[in-house]
Amino acid sequence: MSTILLTGFAPFNRETINPSWEVVRRFADQTIQAAHTSHTSHKIKVAELACEFGTSITQLQQLIDLHQPELVICIGQAGGRPDMSIERIAINVDDARIPDNVGAQPIDLAIVEDGPAAYFSSLPIKAIVQALRAQGIPASVSQTAGTYVCNHVFYGLMHYANTQPGIKRAGFVHIPYLPDQACHHPGAASMSVETLEKAIKLLLETCLIQNQDIRLSAGTIC
Ligand code: PCA
């Protein structure tokens, strides 16, 4: 049985919860099949990463070493984004607008000295968007994961995955606030934890069945 590693983040920026961990924790030690007809099960391991530069990547690498996953998906909160935001690209820069949970605020620093400028997600991002929309869940491809801890972890993940032949696919997804959080941010979009759970299940199933991504226009014009 192969393993899927799913991570969320600790709350940050004065929030008391992080929707990413609230939804990811629901998958603890579950198994998932690629399709109802499939007999191959995959076990899901979950973890909460610290919202800290450096430590978060170390934690993720340790989890990968421990669980030897075939698929790794990291989830993070993007407060204010309205939909499931499937990240396309991780860039090699930290530029923190606010300090992390231990007060670190790197500005214009490379995540990996001499690393490539960027990595693309190896998830079938377009197929995921299509699968989510088909089930009535708003989703889009995002062209930037920002320059804070989520992009940091995404870049660290893709850089490490490159050295781990056992990892077939890896990527990052940002999710909106939960309704409870949005009440403190008037006008901000939100998604219920039940919808988020359904979305993540669909996302995992799509990663398991979709060998190649599909051709779907999901770009943006500035
Ligand atoms: N979101 C932040 C870091 C942790 C999280 O859930 C980000 O988008 O960088």
Per-residue pLDDT tens over the stretch 147-195: 999 999 999 999 999 999 999 999 999 999 999 999 999 999 999 999 9
- What is the pLDDT, as a whole number, of residue 72? 98
The pLDDT of 9-16, averaged and rounded, is: 98
Which residues are registered as beta bridge partners of 140?
85
Residue 73 and residue 123 in contact, taking contact as beta carbons nearer than 8 Å: yes
Given CA atoms 35, 24, 180, 125 in this order, what sign does their dihedral have?
A: negative
Angle ∠(62,67,73) on CA atoms, nearest 5: 80
On the question of pLDDT at 142 being above 90, the answer is yes
| Average pLDDT value for the chain | 97
Closest approach atom of ligand 1 to CA 8: 6
On the question of pLDDT at 36 being above 90, the answer is no
On the question of pLDDT at 132 being above 80, the answer is yes
Residue of the CA atom closest to atom 2 of ligand 1? 150
Which amino acid makes up residue 163? T
Where are the domains positioned within the chain? 2-209
Global pTM exceeds 0.95? yes
Ligand 1 midpoint to CA 37 (Å): 36
Ligand 1 midpoint to CA 11 (Å): 9
Give percent above pLDDT 90 in the chain: 96
Catalytic residue numbers? 87, 150, 174
Closest approach atom of ligand 1 to CA 18: 6
Ligand 1 midpoint to CA 148 (Å): 7
Closest approach atom of ligand 1 to CA 174: 8
CATH code of the region 2-209: 3.40.630.20
Q: Which of 95, 90, 78, 92 is nearest to 120 (CA)?
A: 90
Instruction: Using most ligand atoms within 8 A of CB, pick from 77, 91, 102, 178 the residue to mutate for ligand 1.
Output: 77
Ligand 1 midpoint to CA 79 (Å): 9
- What is the pLDDT, as a whole number, of residue 89? 98
The tokens describing 70, both together, are 């075939």
Give percent above pLDDT 70 in the chain: 99
Residue of the CA atom closest to atom 7 of ligand 1? 150
Residue 71 and residue 157 in contact, taking contact as beta carbons nearer than 8 Å: no
- What is the pLDDT, as a whole number, of residue 38? 74
Ligand 1 midpoint to CA 217 (Å): 26
Which residues are registered as beta bridge partners of 44?
4
- What is the pLDDT, as a whole number, of residue 84? 98
Closest approach atom of ligand 1 to CA 148: 9
Residues with CB under 6 A from ligand 1: 9, 12, 18, 20, 51, 76-78, 146, 148-150
On the question of pLDDT at 98 being above 80, the answer is yes
On the question of pLDDT at 34 being above 90, the answer is no
